[in-house]
Amino acid sequence: MVAIIGVGHSKFGNRRDVSIPELAWEAIKPALDTANIEQKDIDFFVIGTAGVWSSEAAVAPLIAEYAKLEPAGSMRVEAACATGSAAIRVGYTAIKSGEADVVLILGIEKMQESTNPIVIELIGRFGNFFWEFENFGLTFPAYYALYATAYMAKYNASEEDFARVAVKNHFYGARNPYAQFQKEITIEQALNSPYISWPFKLFDCSPITDGASAVIMVSDDKVKEWKIDERVFILSQGVGTGTANLSKRDNFTSLKSAVYAAEIAYRKAGIDIDNPCKYLDGANVHDCFTSAEIIAYEDLRFAKRGEGVELIREEQTYIGGKIPVNVDGGLKAKGHPIGATGVSQAVEAYKQLLNKAEKGRQIDVVNGKYLTHNIGGTGHYAYVTIYGLER
């Protein structure tokens, strides 16, 4: 088994106050401290970053120099918005294969180094750029709006239903000191905000974010050797891939790659695919846009097809409901620094399972299992990971 024994998280938001290595250290230092290890203990480190909007290209050596991680081996990973989870997978497989015992995973992004129009265009390259962006002008709000309108037409969902997701995630973001937006909003505020790409308004869209998050992963042998009590195991991970071109897809109310990844993760973790909420205490899902969270409920089998919208209407994804979802604010309120998001979800799984989340957003841990769902592009990549207290 592979365990997470330390975590760190920077403040998310507009971080023009720090350089890339300084931002990285904000996450690395607490990860080392909570793991009670030093840089010399790291066998291998993985940096998850898209990085196309920021100044530095050789990010791993830059951070290694600043954080005193050299000469340990390193690797840079990119998988669009699922970059953080891809980095975790590289570290996980390095430990499982016996190539490393102690691995640092860092997700980091300084998106604000470029102007918003440039960032929006660069994010568009995570789809089929020359076909969809160049010919039709699709940006990611428009990509996901295609899914949102399809869901509305098929299942009678409304703009107000999507706004309910934003209200929930801002409610919990207000209780997360690391979140980009730490203020509650009302349904009226969400519905009265300006349109970005119909049916999405401003509060339906995740922001452009700078941030870093880190985890220390170790082998089961190290857990036993170091007599580590506070740890969370990676029970399973499923990975899926979608088509680059949306015109090749026949379903716009589900992400096939996410369904595939979830089935693998559930099977490997021994979770009943038809009733996963019975086994899980909570989840983080990829709410880059509000409708994406509702679709994720169904792709992950938290609800039947067409009934995901009922979960948010009935507040069943708040703490105390059927399954708490995104009680750190999600991408919507916590922020979405592309490379850091998947690692931030792992930090949240660790904190929740060990009852270390902040006041007002700690879930009840009964089953000892937590799920994360991280999507790259519009289902171009999908990672579903199950974390647990027991092996």
> Residue 98, class by beta-carbon neighbours within 10 Å (0-12 exposed, 13-18 middle, 19+ buried)?
exposed
Distance between CA atoms of 267 and 280, rounded to whole angstroms?
Answer: 14
Where b means 16+ CB within 10 Å and e means fewer, 157-174 reads bebebbbbbbbbbbbbbb
Q: Catalytic annotation on 288?
A: no
| Phi-psi region at 361: left, alpha or beta (left = phi > 0; alpha = psi -120 to 50) | alpha
Query: Are the C-beta atoms of residues 375 and 84 closer than 8 Å to each other?
Result: no
Residue 183: CB atoms within 10 Å: 11
DSSP secondary structure of 89-144: HHHHHHHHTTS-SEEEEEEEEEGGGS-HHHHHHHHHTTS-IIIIIHHH---HHHHH
User: How far is the C-alpha of 105 from the C-alpha of 174, rounded, in Å?
Assistant: 27
| Rounded Cα–Cα distance for residues 223 and 284 (Å) | 26
CB 333 within 8 A of CB 185: no
- Structural Rg of the chain based on CA atoms: 19
DSSP-assigned beta bridge partners for residue 9: 213
Tokens 């409920």 appear where? Answer: 297
Phi and psi of 282, rounded to 5°? Answer: -175, 180
Is 81 a catalytic site residue?
yes
Spatial CB neighbours of 152, under 8 Å, sequence gap ≥ 6: 158, 199
Give the separation between CA 331 and CA 286, rounded to whole angstroms.
7
Question: Which is the catalytic residue, given 9, 170, 286, 336?
Answer: 336
Whether 166 contacts 290, CB under 8 Å = yes
Q: Which amino acid, residue 272? A: D
Q: Which of 81, 205, 277, 288 is catalytic?
A: 81
CB count, 10 Å around CB of 308? 26
Annotated catalytic residues are 81, 336
